[in-house]
């Protein structure tokens, strides 16, 4: 269950079985921890190989997209 409702999502296609590719997910999470000013959460869809980052703030979502 998501901690809050939002329509602001950025999806990354990640091969979770590849260490180098999964590192992209980790770096993206670090960015969120260090840079996001509002609330955020991530969800993983292993079948689709996507990681969805959801944000409360448009500003955080745009900055995340530009950084990653």
Name the residue range of residue 45's domain.
9-67
Structural domain includes residue 56: yes
Structural domain includes residue 2: no
Task: Domain count for the chain, please give it.
Answer: 1
pLDDT score at 50:
93
Model confidence band, residue 64 (pLDDT cutoffs 50, 70, 90): very high
CB contact set of 54 (below 8 Å; sequence gap of 6+): 2, 6, 8, 9, 40, 41, 42, 43
Structural domain includes residue 49: yes
pLDDT score at 1:
63
What pTM does this model have?
0.89
Structural domain includes residue 3: no
Q: What percent of the chain has pLDDT over 90?
A: 79
């Amino acid at each position: 269950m998501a901690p809050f409702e939002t329509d602001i999502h950025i999806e990354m296609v990640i091969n979770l079985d590849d260490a180098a590719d999964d590192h992209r997910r980790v770096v993206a999470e670090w960015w969120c921890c260090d840079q996001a000013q509002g609330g955020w959460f991530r969800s993983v869809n292993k079948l689709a190989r996507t990681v969805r980052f959801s944000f409360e703030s448009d500003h955080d979502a745009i900055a995340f997209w530009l950084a990653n």
